[in-house]
Amino acid sequence: MTIEEQLIEYAKQGKLLTHKCTKCGYIHLSTAYYCLKCGSKGFEDLVLDGVGSIATYTIITVAPAGFEKFTPYAFVVLQLDNTHLRISGFMAGIATPEDLPVGTRAKIAGFEDGCGIIIKKQ
Amino acid sequence: MTFVEKVCVLGAGSTKYGKLSESIADITTQASVLAIENAGIDPKEIKASYISNVFGVADKQVHLGPVLMSRLGIPDKPSLTIESACGSGSVSFREAYANVAAGFYDCLVVTGVEKVTHTGTEWTTTYFAYCSDFFYEGQAGASFPGLFASMARAYLTEFGATEEDFARVAVKNHDNGFLNPKAHMQKKITIDDVLKSPVVASPLKLYDCCPFSDGASSVILCSEKFAKAHGGDYIEVIGSGRGGSPAALQGREHMTTIPSTKIAAADAYKMAGVTPKDIDFAEVHDCFTIAEIVDTEDLGFFEKGKGVQAVREGRTSLNSDISINPSGGLKSKGHPIGATGVGQVVEVFDQLTGKAGARTVKDAKIGLTHNFGATGASCAVHIFQSV
């Protein structure tokens, strides 16, 4: 499995695969190859719950190819609980800002070809 | 750092920005010829070309350098084509600058170009999203307006700004662009026009967004010795800085700050020996209204969170405290993405050599350009001084 496929497999279980630096302990998304803080290449896998709150988002009405059928939909940045890490994703069925105030509780809810990491309200 | 040569801009020119019918090869050449004629040099004095372009494939022409050089009658001269998304022009300019400063070449043509309007909105929306960190962003349905809208949502939440504040940036830049005969959208608009335009990616509406444009811009970059020997108007490059940011928004500490801008600006200010207060005017990367507000804060013109207040008070309008985007910016002048960073230098050259007509920034001596790729994942800042 490629590094991206591994991340996708965990996303399908509602989890986030991360890389924890074995030297300094800093946590990265699992696509990192070197530590942002200390430059070390040694990582151990750490699986986090994909639960958190919406850091920011947008509701897209003019969509890239393949996404027209979903409009309006949200592209969201999810701040995960108990870590500095955030993860971006696709959220269906959001039409107005009232549907998704910043801070709304949400979680990783899968991965689909054609819309990437799926995030749903909790 | 030790430089062998001081670097100057000796000539500059742009095609009109907008929907152009000529081929990408032709507009690349047209802009270059304008710069060559403006500089008053013979093409055979050019030692190499730096070309910036992102989507040449859309007009069936990549590897633009040799095509340009062939059309200029100097096919034996080397060329390089550079892609750094919407920041390609300034990155290419920087590489050209470094080569002149190091003494490798005494005279270069630096040309940026884009030709995409014939492809339509869906093509451009789709392919521009490839400039994001695609695995995390584009793949999840993010468009470029969507990524900047995410920054805008964070800004609204954090600083209590309003959508009307964003609209003021658009109105101001259209006021400036109205005075620029080469602008893509040479028309004035009102706050109401912006607020009532269709939503593209909430909270950004159509008139919060720059247009997709065709166009080419070119400058002749040379050593001070070359410029002095030639005579004619020239300006000096006194600062050059580059920086980077995490490619995806999710990796940034703050959603309302672009780290690469701060890094590039700090380098450029240091090299130039100036502070933000010394800058008379700036061409900044206003691909969306929110971007200009964030830029003016990250460049140090205003405190974080105070950029909207500055716009409200008219402090960034033409001939106010600091004229931001006297050309009309990406918003009104247009955004041919490979050309934009070079086009900003064209504006600074025109301003500092008395060729900016009705949009002249009075008594300007020092101008700054700020141009980035994607959501600011890569950035270059340059500072220029009149001679």
> Which chain A residue has the Cα nearest residue B127?
A64
Domain count, chain A: 1
How close is the nearest chain B Cα to the Cα of A77, in Å?
6
Q: Do A117 and B204 touch (CB under 8 A)?
A: no
* CB-nearest partner of B141 from A31, A90, A97: A90
Query: H-type helices in B197-283, by residue range?
Result: 224-230, 259-272
Helix (H) / strand (E) containing B30: helix B24-39
Which residues of chain A neighbour B145 with C-beta distances below 8 Å? 58, 60, 62
Spatial contact of B364 and B278, defined as CB atoms under 8 Å apart: no
For residue range B84-132, list pLDDT tens digits in order: 999 999 999 999 999 999 999 999 999 999 999 999 999 999 999 999 9
| pLDDT for res B367 | 98
ipTM of the complex: 0.97
Which residues of chain A neighbour B256 with C-beta distances below 8 Å? none
Res. B1: pLDDT tops 90:
no
> Which chain A residue has the Cα nearest residue B126?
A64
How close is the nearest chain B Cα to the Cα of A43, in Å?
18
| pLDDT for res B143 | 95
Range of the domain at A37: 3-121
Mutation target for A interface from B127, B143, B204: give the one with most A CBs within 10 A. B143
Sorted by where each begins, the domain ranges of chain B are 7-119+212-230
Q: Do B125 and A65 touch (CB under 8 A)?
A: yes
| pLDDT for res B13 | 98
Q: Which of B184, B285, B335, B382 is catalytic?
A: B335
CB proximity under 8 Å: A 14-73 to B? 29, 31, 55-67, 70, 73
Res. A96: pLDDT tops 80:
yes
| pLDDT for res B3 | 85
Helix (H) / strand (E) containing B264: helix B259-272
| pLDDT for res B314 | 98
| pLDDT for res B123 | 92
For residue range B25-45, list pLDDT tens digits in order: 999 999 999 999 999 999 999
| pLDDT for res B2 | 73
Q: Do B137 and A88 touch (CB under 8 A)?
A: yes
Sequence-ordered list of residues with C-beta below 8 angstroms from that of B195, at least 6 positions apart, any chain: B163, B164, B167, B205
For residue range B256-313, list pLDDT tens digits in order: 999 999 999 999 999 999 999 999 999 999 999 999 999 999 999 999 999 999 999 9
For the question of residue B86 being annotated catalytic, the response is yes
For residue range B119-135, list pLDDT tens digits in order: 999 999 999 999 999 99
Helix (H) / strand (E) containing B199: strand B199-202
Q: Do B202 and A90 touch (CB under 8 A)?
A: no
Spatial contact of B200 and A64, defined as CB atoms under 8 Å apart: no
Res. A106: pLDDT tops 90:
yes
- Beta-carbon pairs below 8 A across chains A and B: 114
Instruction: Write the single-letter amino acid at B24.
Output: I
Res. B213: pLDDT tops 80:
yes
Residue B85 CA to residue B372 CA, distance in Å, equals 8
Instruction: Write the single-letter amino acid at B339.
Output: A
Q: Is B294 on the interface with A (CB under 8 A)?
A: no
Q: Do B143 and A59 touch (CB under 8 A)?
A: no
* CB-nearest partner of A60 from B126, B141, B153: B141
In this prediction, residue A59 has a pLDDT band, given cuts at 50, 70 and 90, of very high
Q: Do B145 and A62 touch (CB under 8 A)?
A: yes
In degrees and rounded to multiples of 5, residue B144 shows phi and psi of -65, -45
How close is the nearest chain A Cα to the Cα of B173, in Å?
23
Instruction: Write the single-letter amino acid at B64.
Output: L
Percent of chain B with pLDDT over 90: 98
* CB-nearest partner of A116 from B140, B154, B201: B140
CATH superfamily, domain B7-119+212-230, is Thiolase/Chalcone synthase (3.40.47.10)
Q: Is B209 on the interface with A (CB under 8 A)?
A: no
Peptide bond into A72 cis (omega under 30): yes
Which residues of chain B neighbour A29 with C-beta distances below 8 Å? 136, 251
Q: pLDDT averaged over chain B?
A: 97
Q: Do B140 and A115 touch (CB under 8 A)?
A: yes
Res. A97: pLDDT tops 90:
yes
- When pLDDT is averaged across residues B349-370 and rounded to a whole number, the result is 98
Q: At what angle do helices B259-272 and B289-298 cross, to 10 degrees?
A: 50
Rg (CA), chain A: 15
* CB-nearest partner of B126 from A4, A64, A90: A64
